[in-house]
Amino acid sequence: MKNNMCLRLVVVLLRLGLVAKCIKLELMTENIVDGQEVEIRCSGVKTFDFYFTAKSSKNQNERVKIGSCSSFHDCGLAELIHDQTYNITPMDDGGTLKILKYGHDAEGTDTCKDVLNSTQEASMQVAPKSVNNIASDFNTGTYVIFFCLLIVPIFII
Protein backbone atom coordinates (compact mmCIF):
# COMPACT_ATOMS: atom_id res chain seq x y z
CA MET A 1 0.00 0.00 0.00
CA LYS A 2 2.83 2.40 0.91
CA ASN A 3 4.75 1.59 -2.32
CA ASN A 4 1.60 2.25 -4.35
CA MET A 5 1.24 5.72 -2.76
CA CYS A 6 4.91 6.53 -3.54
CA LEU A 7 4.42 5.48 -7.14
CA ARG A 8 1.31 7.66 -7.43
CA LEU A 9 3.22 10.61 -5.96
CA VAL A 10 6.04 10.19 -8.50
CA VAL A 11 3.50 10.01 -11.36
CA VAL A 12 1.79 13.19 -10.14
CA LEU A 13 5.14 14.99 -9.80
CA LEU A 14 6.17 13.87 -13.30
CA ARG A 15 2.90 15.17 -14.76
CA LEU A 16 3.42 18.51 -13.05
CA GLY A 17 6.98 18.66 -14.36
CA LEU A 18 8.45 18.70 -10.86
CA VAL A 19 10.62 15.61 -11.34
CA ALA A 20 13.31 15.85 -14.00
CA LYS A 21 13.37 13.38 -16.84
CA CYS A 22 16.06 13.21 -19.47
CA ILE A 23 15.89 16.28 -21.71
CA LYS A 24 16.12 15.62 -25.43
CA LEU A 25 16.68 18.25 -28.13
CA GLU A 26 15.93 17.35 -31.75
CA LEU A 27 16.27 19.23 -35.00
CA MET A 28 12.99 18.60 -36.81
CA THR A 29 13.95 20.42 -40.03
CA GLU A 30 15.81 18.15 -42.46
CA ASN A 31 17.54 20.73 -44.63
CA ILE A 32 18.37 24.12 -43.16
CA VAL A 33 18.01 26.80 -45.83
CA ASP A 34 18.44 30.56 -45.49
CA GLY A 35 15.10 32.33 -45.30
CA GLN A 36 13.18 29.18 -44.34
CA GLU A 37 11.66 28.09 -41.01
CA VAL A 38 13.70 25.82 -38.73
CA GLU A 39 12.03 23.75 -35.99
CA ILE A 40 13.77 22.47 -32.85
CA ARG A 41 11.92 20.23 -30.39
CA CYS A 42 12.72 20.00 -26.68
CA SER A 43 11.15 17.03 -24.89
CA GLY A 44 11.36 15.31 -21.52
CA VAL A 45 10.72 18.46 -19.51
CA LYS A 46 7.67 20.61 -18.73
CA THR A 47 9.14 23.85 -17.31
CA PHE A 48 12.12 25.02 -19.34
CA ASP A 49 13.95 27.90 -21.01
CA PHE A 50 15.32 28.12 -24.55
CA TYR A 51 18.71 29.82 -24.96
CA PHE A 52 20.82 30.76 -27.97
CA THR A 53 24.60 31.21 -28.20
CA ALA A 54 25.68 32.87 -31.44
CA LYS A 55 28.46 31.48 -33.60
CA SER A 56 29.37 34.94 -34.93
CA SER A 57 32.47 36.53 -33.44
CA LYS A 58 30.79 39.65 -32.02
CA ASN A 59 28.31 37.68 -29.85
CA GLN A 60 30.32 34.49 -29.36
CA ASN A 61 29.82 32.72 -26.01
CA GLU A 62 27.04 35.13 -25.01
CA ARG A 63 24.05 33.03 -24.00
CA VAL A 64 20.77 34.84 -24.69
CA LYS A 65 17.44 33.69 -23.29
CA ILE A 66 14.91 33.33 -26.10
CA GLY A 67 11.88 32.30 -24.06
CA SER A 68 10.33 29.66 -21.84
CA CYS A 69 7.43 27.29 -21.21
CA SER A 70 5.76 26.40 -17.94
CA SER A 71 4.24 23.11 -16.84
CA PHE A 72 0.83 24.70 -17.50
CA HIS A 73 1.46 24.77 -21.30
CA ASP A 74 2.09 28.51 -21.20
CA CYS A 75 4.98 29.60 -23.43
CA GLY A 76 6.37 33.04 -24.14
CA LEU A 77 9.32 34.92 -25.54
CA ALA A 78 11.78 36.64 -23.21
CA GLU A 79 11.73 39.94 -25.13
CA LEU A 80 9.51 41.53 -27.76
CA ILE A 81 12.47 41.79 -30.15
CA HIS A 82 12.35 37.97 -30.49
CA ASP A 83 8.75 38.19 -31.75
CA GLN A 84 9.78 38.48 -35.41
CA THR A 85 12.52 35.86 -35.12
CA TYR A 86 11.17 33.03 -32.93
CA ASN A 87 7.99 31.24 -31.93
CA ILE A 88 7.65 28.85 -28.98
CA THR A 89 4.75 26.43 -28.64
CA PRO A 90 4.03 23.86 -25.91
CA MET A 91 3.83 20.08 -26.36
CA ASP A 92 2.73 17.38 -23.92
CA ASP A 93 6.26 16.80 -22.60
CA GLY A 94 8.17 19.87 -23.78
CA GLY A 95 7.92 22.47 -26.50
CA THR A 96 8.94 23.55 -29.96
CA LEU A 97 11.19 26.46 -30.86
CA LYS A 98 10.73 27.77 -34.39
CA ILE A 99 13.25 30.06 -36.01
CA LEU A 100 10.83 31.84 -38.31
CA LYS A 101 13.32 32.91 -40.99
CA TYR A 102 16.70 31.22 -40.66
CA GLY A 103 19.72 33.38 -41.51
CA HIS A 104 23.45 33.54 -40.82
CA ASP A 105 22.77 35.35 -37.53
CA ALA A 106 20.85 32.26 -36.32
CA GLU A 107 23.94 30.02 -36.64
CA GLY A 108 25.07 28.80 -33.26
CA THR A 109 24.01 26.65 -30.33
CA ASP A 110 20.43 26.31 -29.14
CA THR A 111 19.88 25.02 -25.60
CA CYS A 112 16.86 23.73 -23.71
CA LYS A 113 17.34 24.00 -19.92
CA ASP A 114 15.12 22.71 -17.12
CA VAL A 115 14.06 25.64 -14.92
CA LEU A 116 13.55 23.46 -11.84
CA ASN A 117 16.80 21.50 -12.16
CA SER A 118 19.65 23.63 -13.54
CA THR A 119 21.86 20.56 -14.12
CA GLN A 120 19.43 19.27 -16.77
CA GLU A 121 19.96 20.77 -20.22
CA ALA A 122 20.46 19.73 -23.83
CA SER A 123 22.23 21.71 -26.56
CA MET A 124 22.79 21.38 -30.29
CA GLN A 125 24.58 23.23 -33.08
CA VAL A 126 22.19 24.64 -35.66
CA ALA A 127 23.75 25.45 -39.02
CA PRO A 128 23.26 24.40 -42.63
CA LYS A 129 25.60 21.81 -44.06
CA SER A 130 28.40 23.79 -45.66
CA VAL A 131 29.17 23.61 -49.37
CA ASN A 132 32.71 22.48 -48.49
CA ASN A 133 31.36 19.48 -46.54
CA ILE A 134 29.12 18.48 -49.45
CA ALA A 135 32.02 18.84 -51.90
CA SER A 136 34.39 16.82 -49.70
CA ASP A 137 31.76 14.06 -49.31
CA PHE A 138 31.40 13.95 -53.09
CA ASN A 139 35.17 13.96 -53.68
CA THR A 140 35.75 11.14 -51.18
CA GLY A 141 33.15 9.02 -52.96
CA THR A 142 34.69 9.84 -56.33
CA TYR A 143 38.17 8.77 -55.16
CA VAL A 144 36.82 5.49 -53.76
CA ILE A 145 35.08 4.68 -57.04
CA PHE A 146 38.18 5.65 -59.06
CA PHE A 147 40.40 3.51 -56.77
CA CYS A 148 38.05 0.51 -57.16
CA LEU A 149 38.02 0.88 -60.95
CA LEU A 150 41.82 1.06 -60.96
CA ILE A 151 42.43 -1.93 -58.66
CA VAL A 152 39.80 -4.38 -60.00
CA PRO A 153 41.36 -4.70 -63.51
CA ILE A 154 44.80 -5.39 -61.94
CA PHE A 155 43.41 -8.47 -60.16
CA ILE A 156 41.63 -9.69 -63.26
CA ILE A 157 44.82 -9.61 -65.36
Q: What is the pLDDT of residue 105?
A: 85
Q: Return per-residue pLDDT of the chain as tens, 157 residues.
A: 555 554 565 556 556 655 546 899 999 999 999 999 999 999 999 999 999 998 876 666 789 999 999 999 899 999 887 888 999 999 999 999 999 999 988 889 999 999 999 899 999 999 887 644 443 333 333 333 333 334 444 445 5
Domain-located, residue 129: yes
65 and 51 in contact (C-beta within 8 Å)? yes
Domain-located, residue 154: no
Domain-located, residue 155: no
Domain-located, residue 58: yes
Q: How many domains is the chain partitioned into structurally?
A: 1
Domain-located, residue 55: yes
Q: What is the pLDDT of residue 128?
A: 84
User: 57-81: per-residue pLDDT in tens?
Assistant: 666 678 999 999 999 989 999 988 7
Domain-located, residue 152: no
Domain-located, residue 86: yes
CATH number (domain holding residue 10): 2.60.40.10
Q: Count Cβ atoms below 10 Å from residue 28 Cβ, excluding itself.
A: 11
105 and 81 in contact (C-beta within 8 Å)? no
Structural domain boundaries, residue 32 = 2-133
Domain-located, residue 143: no
Predicted TM-score (pTM) of this structure: 0.68
Instruction: Tell me which residue of 97, 96, 93, 124 sits closest to 20, measured CA to CA.
Output: 93
